A and B are shown apart, each in its own frame.
Chain A
């Protein structure tokens, strides 16, 4: 059966994130490219957090969705460059996260990120997340590590509820051509 690139893209982007099923992988910015050639489809994805074990499930789910949509041969390729950033998560997706009780990722510092080691008070968060339960900005981080690779653990000092926050991953510098320093 023939499948168009457009339809294949729709199907791929609609695949729910295994950990956050309210979101499709499309709105997380994971799907980079989809090309259909008759009944053969190639999908290019970018991995999110390096240790994230959900990527395997995502690849499997993409394959199943496309087979169900009529594709006979499905090939998934991982593209590392440019690296995925939480900045790629759409505004709609951020709102869905908030309604689900997870604080969306803080905006990351603009421009290329020189990883500062000397000044650790320069946090990777340009501002803390707002509490997804009560909206207060009086929040404090319990741990930079949470239940999954993508989450941090915070608590609200206003309503006293704990909540998960998506860990910010800035866009980083573009892959260089000049060679290492």
Chain B
């Protein structure tokens, strides 16, 4: 049993993370992002403004859960301790989840949901597009498909970003308020820490600096075109990646995990 690290907040880093091989840790980050995003987006079920948007949001959530299944399975195999996708999704505790805080933010209203989707989906396309050349053949193969699937997410988010920004004064206020909340959290996606830099050097993962450049080159002109502004605040630490999550994460995780935990070993 390896003692947990103490991070700069005085708390402990995600217990056991340092025991995982680097690639497994990275796959866990991507898998947790997808899993938590899927969980959040599925909260729109039967509540979206129109039937077509209910279907769209839930299909996007389904894509995320599908991506999470592949990534968590690959992470478990890379770890080599016999944990499968279900063990990782349902039996880890809060501090062991390494999703970004952007992924776990509550949906808020439709404007905030679209704002977060726009930021995440552009990052996903840039990330998975680059991961097609990963030295890990499974990650590369998965990324080839995920990049295309996430491209459909970008189209959806951008079309609503435009409709809200150029709709009424009220709709523009709502989407701008959404951007104000979510934008600063995007910084965590691009922080170049030791893990990612190491995997970049070995050719397994893309350079987050290049991803940030590509991400900004798409989003900044788009926001400007739509008359939206990005706040100056920008996260430069990685709390989510260190297992530190926002307060709403706890009840969300409980909702996601309780059924599996209530009936250990059950199957359909």
**What residues make up the interface of A, taking CB atoms closer than 8 Å to B?**
49-53, 80-84, 113-115, 117-118, 120, 124, 142-147, 149, 153, 167, 169-170, 172-173, 175-181
Contact = CB atoms under 8 A, between A and B. Distances in A.
A81 B142 CA distance: 8
A177 B138 CA distance: 12
B52 interface: yes
A178 B144 CA distance: 15
A50 B145 contact: yes
Given A83-B144, A175-B140, A175-B144, A117 B154 contact: yes
Contacts of B135: 177, 179-180
Interface string B169-205: 0000000000000000000000000000000101111
User: Which of B66, B156, B207, B214 has most A Cβ within 10 Å?
Assistant: B66
Interface stretch (B9-17, B54-62, B98-106, B234-242): B54-62
Contacts of B60: 145
A115 B125 contact: yes
Residue of B55, B122, B126, B158 with most chain A CB atoms under a 10 A cut-off: B55
Interface in B104-137: 122, 125-126, 129-135, 137
Given A83-B144, A143-B56, A117 B122 contact: yes
Contacts of A144: 56, 152, 155-156
Contact of B200 (A115, A176, A180): A180
Interface in B218-250: 218
Contacts of A49: 63, 66, 149
B46 interface: no
Contact of B130 (A51, A82, A172, A181): A181
Q: Which of A49, A80, A124 has the most CB of B within 10 A?
A: A80
B260 interface: no
Contacts of B137: 81, 175
B136 to A, nearest CB: 9
Contacts of B146: 50
A114 B143 CA distance: 12
B133 A180 contact: yes
B254 interface: no
Judged by DSSP, the binding face of B is helix
A124 to B, nearest CB: 6
Given A175-B137, A176-B140, A180-B130, A50 B56 contact: no
Contact of A83 (B65, B145, B152): B145
A172 B63 contact: no
Interface residues of B, number: 51
Interface secondary structure of A, over-half rule: loop
A51 B35 CA distance: 12
Given A80-B138, A145-B60, A179-B204, A172 B55 contact: no
Contact of B207 (A83, A153, A178, A181): A181
A93 B152 CA distance: 24
A176 B135 CA distance: 7
Nearest to B57: A145
A113 B134 contact: no
Contacts of A50: 63, 66-67, 69-70, 142, 145-146, 149
B134 A176 contact: yes
B31 interface: no
B141 A83 contact: yes
B206 A170 contact: no
A5 B95 CA distance: 49
A117 B218 contact: yes
Most A CB atoms within 10 A — which of B70, B145, B202?
Answer: B145
B217 interface: yes
Contacts of A120: 154-155, 158
B259 interface: no
A51 to B, nearest CB: 3
A85 B140 CA distance: 15
A48 B67 CA distance: 12
Interface in B1-44: none
Given A142-B52, A172-B148, A180 B131 contact: yes
